[in-house]
Structure 1
Amino acid sequence: MIGKRYTVPVITLAATRRDVYGKALAKSRTEGLLPVVVYGRKEQSASYFVALPDFKKVYREAGESSVISLKTPEGALDVLIHETGKDPITGEFIHADFYAVEKGKALRVSAPIVWVGEAPAIKLGGIVVKVLHELEVEAFPQDLPHEISVDLAGLETLESQISVKDLAIPAQVKIIAEPDDIVAAVAVAKEEEEAPVMDISQIEVEKRGKQEEEGAGTPEQGDQTSSP
């Protein structure tokens, strides 16, 4: 389902020149500065610092699929967060790579799916199966979506499903997937079959009868005196 055109809000992040590298970066990190690198097809690699609190806020808003306007001393650059590094112990960001995009050229990125609403089919005993968790999309840099919302309210019956063609997608965004690809569906939980209950008394009767039959065919042995 193609929706109306929309305007993606501009997300900005200030950067300062960086001349510190290697082990010397430890001190900068304690001061709340995050080392970043910017590169692209038509951009030479450049190193900067950004404020860690600002980066974390921008990352929550933009993720890795929305364009950011990076304000550098040389001017503004349209970039995507391409890769991040985190401290294995604290989980804090310690590095980030930005990819400088080319204006006027469409990009393909993976946009995460965000689930909204509740599926009415759950009240009928159904279980929502989320088949996809992200979708590859293509759009010009300024039109790239941060996320794709999928409304579970469309899952009304136990046979309901949501396909790519059912999604409300902005007109300037193209999903790289088949229209009939399933995004989410309803499944019905199968009841476990009860194991057959064995009649213990019948087993005991059969066992006792077998023992009696075996006993009847075995002669009793007593003391025997051999004759010379």
Structure 2
Amino acid sequence: MSKFIQFNKRTVETKSNINAARKQGRVPAVLYGIGKETLTLEVNEKELLNILKKNPRAILQGKVGDDLEVPVIVQHIQKDTLSGKMLHIDFQHVNMKKSMDSKVTIHFAGEAVGIKSGGTLQVEIYEVEVRCMPEDLPTSMEVDISGLDIGDQLLVSDLIFQGGIEVLTDPDTVMIQIKTVHDEAEEAADVTPA
């Protein structure tokens, strides 16, 4: 948790002030979970993007003014559908002494044997939900798929996390599978309305 993010308090809530702040690279944000008070803040978009590129689930040390430092995590980012620019960010205070629920991104590494044999790769999910202590939360998990052949699949239950991490996603959920082109054509036919 070495990454610091500076929050600035928002004082004026008019739409024109918020739009002016966005043009200057400051994104409106809220911080939940510190006592009962929700703080209305703003954060430097460029600074946050640099941190989230490396780890979108990072636990950050949020500085609110000069007197308050708290561990936070990004809960939700609202983006403009056309431009992709950040419109609003929800941060959640993290209690470092209690377990938390979060998601871990799965990276699939290697080239499956089944692809070389003419199969196609079908990824069903890219992340799983876990529960663990904040300091145990992995940034991501790499899974080697080079041994998968046509007809093979990886389930959530095939993931091996370090001790202390409980996987909340259904263990029977298929993460990735290698299919033949024939299987995909049949699935497409099943979906096509009669």
The bucket for the TM-score relative to the shorter chain is 0.7 to 0.9
Paired position in structure 1 for 2:46 = 53
User: Which stretches in structure 2 are left out of the alignment for 5+ residues?
Assistant: 186-194
* CA contact 1:83–1:98 (8 Å) conserved in 2: yes
Residue 77 of structure 2 corresponds to residue 84 of structure 1: yes
Distance 1:15 1:152, change over 3 A: same
Distance 1:66 1:119 in 2: 30
Residue 107 of structure 2 corresponds to residue 114 of structure 1: yes
Distance 1:162 1:89 in 2: 35
Distance 2:109 2:121 in 1: 12
- Once the two structures are TM-superposed, the CA of residue 86 in structure 1 deviates from its matched residue by 2.2
CA offsets per residue over residues 143-192 of structure 1, 9 Å max, x none?
2223332222131x324322334324232322124545432222222298
Q: Percent identity over the alignment?
A: 25
What is the SS of the residue equivalent to 2:22? helix
Instruction: Kindly indicate which of the two structures has a greater share of residues assigned to strand.
Output: 2
* CA contact 1:33–1:50 (8 Å) conserved in 2: yes
Paired position in structure 1 for 2:192 = none
CA offsets per residue over residues 53-91 of structure 1, 9 Å max, x none?
00111222332x332211222322111111222234432
Residues 19-34 of structure 1: matches in 2 within 5 Å? 19-23=11-15, 24-34=17-27
Give the aligned CA root-mean-square deviation in angstroms.
2.3
Residue 119 of structure 2 corresponds to residue 129 of structure 1: no
What is the SS of the residue equivalent to 1:136? strand
Bigger Rg, structure 1 or 2: 1
The AA in structure 1 aligned to 2:63 is K
Paired position in structure 1 for 2:95 = 102
Distance 1:110 1:134 in 2: 6
What is the SS of the residue equivalent to 2:162? coil
Paired position in structure 2 for 1:169 = 161
Paired position in structure 1 for 2:131 = 138
* CA contact 2:52–2:58 (8 Å) conserved in 1: no
* CA contact 1:62–1:68 (8 Å) conserved in 2: no
Among 130, 137, 145, the alignment partner of 1:152 is 145
* CA contact 2:108–2:142 (8 Å) conserved in 1: yes
Distance 2:125 2:87 in 1: 30
What is the SS of the residue equivalent to 1:28? helix
Distance 1:30 1:181 in 2: 43
Paired position in structure 2 for 1:206 = none
The AA in structure 2 aligned to 1:129 is Q
Aligned pair count?
182
Distance 1:181 1:83 in 2: 24
Among 3, 6, 12, the alignment partner of 2:4 is 12
Distance 1:36 1:127, change over 3 A: same
